[in-house]
Amino acid sequence: MVWGWAVASIFILFVGMSMAELGSAAPTSGGLYFWTHSFSSPRCRNLLSWIVGYTNTIGSVSGVASIDWGCAVQVMAAASIGSGQTFVPTNAQIFGVYACILVTHVFICSLATKILARLQTVYIFLNLILCFAVIIALPVATPKEFRNTASFALGNFTNLDGWPNGYAFILSFLAPLWTICGFDCSVHISEEASNAATAVPWAIVTSIGVAGVLGWAINMSLAFCMGTDIDGLLDSPIGQPMAQIFFNSFGQNATLALWSFVVLVQYMMGSSMLLGASRQTFAFARDGALPFSGWLYRMNGYTKTPVNTVIYVAILSLLLGLLGLAGPSATNAIFSMSIISLYVAYAIPIAARFVFKNDFKPGPFNLGRFSMPVATISVLWMLFMSVVFLFPSLPQTDVADMNYTVVVMGGTLILSLAWYYCPKYGGVHWFTGPVKNIGSKEWDKGSSSTSGKQDKDSIAAKRHAEAELGGEKSDC
Ligand SMILES: *[C@@H]1O[C@H](CO)[C@@H](O)[C@H](O)[C@H]1NC(C)=O
């Protein structure tokens, strides 16, 4: 928990630095998808953009699913604490709560986006306060019997899963990887930022730094205050080790109060994620690549938001949530899928910059001669982690415990490629990558020739539709 977080954070920072370089050179809201198209050779740029667009979409959808599922589990943990630990939810009940959360998020992301944007600042503060509550108040409140020695907190290694120790340690990376992810969001809002070529890369790097340090402090605090009965924490009727730790230290009422804020912050994070995912899907539908793109690329005249993509992402998330019915191992698949698919979408443009011939011009944020080594480390890291998380979380697998990541993610990728190469109707015959972004850099000569095929008026109309979205993009 403690050292896994520290090690993974450092590698995530490498990924962030590589992405920051791209963000500094080309701060466009198209981000990953657009970079891939402009750095790759003409022969494979359309296919690679297609893959990045799809993995980014899968990543966003499973991001929504994982956050909202986490929120549902937390709500049930609150119910369990409130009932004096007599209530133990079934998977079906958790799924019911999950579905309710998703439905309310659909309404929020379709209607109340302006309010959501204003609330953003409030819950960033709430989030920080929560962090400090765990870092400072938890050690103060923890009774003596639950306090751990430094040698236990920083030196005890308990392997409960039956994997070899080294691999068990690597599995602890899942927590930091899932928590410190989605930093491409800063890129999507770059067209609304002044001074984007400097602001965007620093936003990426500092947010990773802050999340890494605060998260590490939280994990240390938990490790020092959780007592030594690890099995007891994992098997507690509350169903959430973190809630059980709070319960042991703060007692029932204070835990319920603190836990409500945990739920609230998680809930708000879910709504932001759905908002971001629906806008990303909207942009990808603009280029016609998704099934039902015509229906998806439509603004609702009344709400002035892309209601169709909000519903689409929510339905896909609901379907993914069905995995949760199969039990905790299947739920893990949703979490790891959100990481792996985003990592594929990150790794392709970072690698494409060096693999293909292009006239990449570094922006104000650049690592000079360290660019290439840092990019190599980050791509290898993402490749390695993607392979690791395709393995099941327990060595002896059965239907409930198998890792569904490989099924859902592999299945979606294969279907998307099948559609790309489909004779006559497939993307290979008409997909030309992202619609050219206004004010793109000179080195992006390639994509101007492809977008030349597009009808100028339709581009203008699309731009207009996107401008209407402008107000909400910054929520990300
Ligand atoms: C870790 O802590 C547990 C629980 O106190 C103990 O049984 C185990 O021997 C410890 N392992 C090491 C390597 O210190």
DSSP structure string for 377-388: HHHHHHHHHHHH
- pLDDT given at position 392: 66
Q: What is the CATH number of the domain that holds 366?
A: 1.20.1740.10
Backbone angles phi, psi at 112, to 5 degrees: -100, 40
Overall average pLDDT of the 51-76 stretch? 92
Atom 4 of ligand 1: nearest residue by CA position = 228
- pLDDT given at position 401: 64
Confidence of residue 149 (pLDDT cuts 50, 70, 90): very high
Q: Is residue 448 part of a domain?
A: no
Ligand 1, residue 230: give the atom nearest the CA: 4
Centre of ligand 1 from the C-alpha of residue 398, in Å: 29
Q: Is residue 444 part of a domain?
A: no
Residue pLDDT, tens place only, 165-205: 998 899 889 889 988 988 877 777 677 677 888 988 999 99
Atom 11 of ligand 1: nearest residue by CA position = 156
Q: Is residue 462 part of a domain?
A: no
- pLDDT given at position 202: 93
Centre of ligand 1 from the C-alpha of residue 73, in Å: 29
Q: Is residue 315 part of a domain?
A: yes
Residue pLDDT, tens place only, 220-279: 999 999 999 998 898 888 888 899 999 999 999 999 999 999 999 999 989 888 888 888
Half-sphere CA count of 412, side-chain side, radius 13 A: 24
Q: What are 221's two structure tokens?
A: 């605090």
For residue 31, what are the domain limits?
A: 2-434
Atom 14 of ligand 1: nearest residue by CA position = 156
Centre of ligand 1 from the C-alpha of residue 168, in Å: 16
Mutate which of 154, 156, 229 for ligand 1? The one with the most ligand atoms within 8 Å of its CB, which is 156
Centre of ligand 1 from the C-alpha of residue 154, in Å: 12
Q: Is residue 26 part of a domain?
A: yes
Residue pLDDT, tens place only, 115-128: 777 777 888 889 89
Answer yes or no: is the C-beta of 302 below 6 A from any ligand 1 atom.
no
| Alpha carbon 47 to its chain's center | 23
Q: Is residue 475 part of a domain?
A: no
Q: Is residue 409 part of a domain?
A: yes
How many domains is the chain built from?
A: 1
Centre of ligand 1 from the C-alpha of residue 135, in Å: 24
Answer yes or no: is the C-beta of 148 below 6 A from any ligand 1 atom.
no
The residue with tokens 């994992």 is: 234
Q: Is the dihedral of CA 200, 349, 47, 274 positive or negative?
A: negative
Q: Is residue 229 part of a domain?
A: yes
Atom 5 of ligand 1: nearest residue by CA position = 228
Q: Is 365's pLDDT higher than 60?
A: yes
Overall average pLDDT of the 303-314 stretch? 86
Centre of ligand 1 from the C-alpha of residue 255, in Å: 27
Backbone angles phi, psi at 37, to 5 degrees: -65, -40
Answer yes or no: is the C-beta of 474 below 6 A from any ligand 1 atom.
no
Q: What is the pTM of this model?
A: 0.84
